[in-house]
Amino acid sequence: MNTFIQSLPKAELHSHIEGTMEPELILKLADRNKIKLPYSDEDALRRAYQFQDLQSFLNLYFMCANTLRKPEDFYDMTLEYLKRCQQDGVIHTEIFVEFQSYRENNIVIEVILEGISAAIKQGAKEYGVTCYIILCFLRHRPAMEAMQTLDHAAPYFDQIVGVGLAAAERPYPPHLFKDVYDKAHSLGLKRVAHAGEEGPADYVWQALELLGVDRIDHGVRCAEDPKLVQRLIETQTPLTVCPLSNVKLRVFPDMASHNVYKLFKAGVNVTINADDPSFFGGYVTDNYQAIMDAHPFTKADIIQLAKNGIQASFLPPMQKTAWIRKIEAHR
Ligand SMILES: [Zn+2]
């Protein structure tokens, strides 16, 4: 089955680019930029990937992101990821880039995008993987700062497909960011937001009603509110579910307890994604495999999940149709 999943054309809609950095790259960049990390080698760094919750993960995540300084660092990170996408059968990915993470080091958007956009061009050529950028706001920082970031990014909107909202979910409800989402919408950007990962179902409602999102990132805690589940089914708003991440960060105690199968069978528009693959123990294929091992998904279900991913992407309709035909023909 693994070869079947691996070679199935898939989209990745929930991927924090910094979360794709493998220990080897993190240490290489720390060395290149003369940044001291409290880990002597790859094994020591990998041993630190044991998390109690979202916050304990974020602490390590921001420390690793701090090793990125120059365009070539962002280039190396993105191109390595796109190479792994190709190996993983991911033909299209939409990455979160958190520009605010780099403010303290005075790294401007231009520097970040110079590296990432060059890697995206190269990745399309070399690996045949398309990649869109989502400007992701940090919700534990003030909404005013998110607004400034949106303004600073304005000259680069040709390289950015939409906006997102991530990092520590509680106690930063989506409504705090209504103005910035309204502005993003008026500028023609797509909108997504993390909600219902560690935050309650009410945060999912807020993301839908106040932020007007096209997709919900995670959203698994929608199950706590039957009316919300009904609404998600009726509107077919996609959820970018990240199963291995949810288990690693203890949103669910184990994969057997994960509600991905129940939501999918109820008719929720579920897509399967990796979140921060290098930290959470698996890329997209691994996530498909993990849910199949723990739940009675059939081959037809897996095909449907892959189709959902393409359909929920921001690819142009013609490209979606072409990929969906390929998925349906996949054996
Ligand atoms: Zn995420």
How many other C-beta atoms are found inside a 10 Å radius of the C-beta of residue 232? 24
Separation CA 123–CA 322 (nearest Å): 20
Query: What integer pLDDT is reported at residue 51 of this predicted model?
Result: 84
Distance 231 CA to ligand 1 centre (A): 22
In the chain, how many H helices and how many E strands? 16, 8
Q: Where are the domains of the chain?
A: 2-312
Distance 217 CA to ligand 1 centre (A): 7
Do residues 183 and 236 lie in contact, with contact meaning Cβ atoms separated by under 8 Å?
Answer: no
- Protein residues within 5 Å, CB atom, of ion ligand 1: 275
Separation CA 226–CA 171 (nearest Å): 23
197 is catalytic: yes
- Phi and psi based region of residue 122 (left: phi greater than 0; alpha: psi -120 to 50; beta: remaining): alpha
- pTM score > 0.75 for this model? yes
pLDDT in tens, the chain (331 residues): 589 999 999 999 999 999 999 999 999 999 999 999 999 899 999 988 888 888 888 888 989 999 999 999 999 999 999 999 999 999 999 999 999 999 989 999 999 999 999 999 999 999 999 999 999 999 999 999 999 999 999 999 999 999 999 988 889 999 999 999 999 999 999 999 999 999 999 999 999 999 999 999 999 999 999 999 999 999 999 999 999 999 998 999 999 999 999 999 999 999 999 999 999 989 999 999 999 999 999 999 999 999 999 999 999 999 999 999 999 999 8
What residue type is assigned to position 121 of the chain?
K
Hey, is 286 helix, strand or coil?
Answer: helix
Distance 15 CA to ligand 1 centre (A): 7
Distance 172 CA to ligand 1 centre (A): 15
Distance 331 CA to ligand 1 centre (A): 31
Question: In the CATH hierarchy, which fold is given to the domain comprising 2-312?
Answer: TIM Barrel (3.20.20)
Q: Which of 12, 18, 94, 197 is catalytic?
A: 197
Beginning with the edge strand found earlier in the chain, give each strand of the sheet holding 130-138 in spatial order.
10-16, 90-97, 130-138, 162-166, 190-195, 215-218, 239-241, 270-272
Distance 153 CA to ligand 1 centre (A): 21
Query: What integer pLDDT is reported at residue 17 of this predicted model?
Result: 97
Distance 32 CA to ligand 1 centre (A): 28
Query: What integer pLDDT is reported at residue 40 of this predicted model?
Result: 87
> Which residues does 321 contact at the CB level (< 8 Å), separation at least 6?
none
Query: What integer pLDDT is reported at residue 82 of this predicted model?
Result: 98
Distance 174 CA to ligand 1 centre (A): 15
